[in-house]
Structure 1
Amino acid sequence: MVRYHNFDIVFAEIPDETTLAINITNCPNRCPGCHSPHLQRDGGERLDAEALQGLLDRYGRSVTCVCFMGGDAAPHEIARLAETVRRNCPALRTAWYSGRERLPEGFDLTRFDYIKLGPWIEALGPLTAPTTNQRLYRIAPDGTMSDITARFRRNR
């Protein structure tokens, strides 16, 4: 079962998107220096299709994307929730922030428009750092992954 701690409307997680970011709990990754250690606990509100639809009904007209922030303990459930977004709100794009280095076996990435992969490694920095190990991919309808991480870096 997937649970979430909270959610917010954000502007920096996915380039050019106004995003409903849902913070998923029960993170198994335990990255040293994690900025959200409270998300490692298995707590919060249940996030199933009905609860997600409630969020979509409330905020769906205010956003262009829904991003599941975490969910590595149940990636196939996250993919099913993304399918709920696609089916019920086809104008919205879907995203998943994973701390995994690779996608899990049998994972249907075509349910997403964006996927971020990579554990948090404090010394390498966030997506905005040129040294980051994390990557944000744009997913084409055929499943092709294009690395768009550079979109986070500002020219100075």
Structure 2
Amino acid sequence: MYYYSFQIVFQEVPGEISLCFSISGCTIRCKGCHSPYLWKKNSGSLLTVSLFETLLKQYANLATCVLFMGGEWHNEELIVFLKLSKKRNYKTCLYTGEDQVSIELLAELTWIKTGKWNPSLGGLENKKTNQKFIEVKTNKILNYLFIKN
């Protein structure tokens, strides 16, 4: 599994400081995608278990969540990284353009953002969006956390 970028992000998972990996090879290719460079397979660097564990250790007690922007097309590999995250007491999140992911993958997530990008409906900050930010354990839709008063 290849990642195009690694960042520390603050807005994608409300209330969390997240280690964010943007995974390359997206097959969804939403019209109006803000990251079409992620469509190219094997773009970026190989995400190894060794590198991943090093980053988890480096940010322990600083970050609280591991976020994958895509990667569900690498189901088994992604599950390995999510399990490692949970083992180190990180919460986990996946942003996907799909409406559903495998039950095995879902079992390793704290939150999931689902739904293709649709420019006419906007993102999570828009009340009419088709996207959903879901707390997996309760199946609660938490989009309201992104909407400004």
Q: TM-score range by the shorter chain?
A: over 0.9
Q: Give per-residue Cα distances to partners, 1:17-60, cap 9 Å, x unaligned.
A: 11111111100101011000111112111113222112212223
Output the amino acid matched with 2:109: F
Using the TM superposition, give the Cα deviation of residue 11 of structure 1 relative to its aligned residue in structure 2, in angstroms. Answer: 0.8
- The number of residues matched between the two structures is 148
Matched, 1:122 2:119: yes
CA distance in 2, matches of 1:25, 1:60: 25
- The residue aligned with 2:33 is 34
Structure 1's consecutive aligned runs of 4 or more residues displaced over 4 angstroms after TM superposition are none
8 Å contact kept, 1:48–1:81: no
Q: 1:12 to 1:67 in 2, by over 3 A?
A: same
CA distance in 2, matches of 1:71, 1:122: 22
Structure 2 unmatched ranges of 5 or more: none
Cα RMSD for the two superposed structures: 1.3
Output the amino acid matched with 1:74: H
Q: Give per-residue Cα distances to partners, 1:61-109, cap 9 Å, x unaligned.
A: 321111011113213321221001112x12x1111111101123x4341
Matched, 1:148 2:142: yes
CA distance in 2, matches of 1:126, 1:35: 11
- The residue aligned with 1:95 is 93
CA distance in 1, matches of 2:139, 2:82: 17
Matched, 1:139 2:133: no
Output the amino acid matched with 1:3: Y
CA distance in 2, matches of 1:53, 1:28: 27
Output the amino acid matched with 1:138: E
- The residue aligned with 2:78 is 78
CA distance in 1, matches of 2:5, 2:61: 19
Please give the secondary structure, in 2, of the residue aligned with 1:83. helix
Structure 1 unmatched ranges of 5 or more: none
- The residue aligned with 1:110 is 107
Output the amino acid matched with 1:31: C
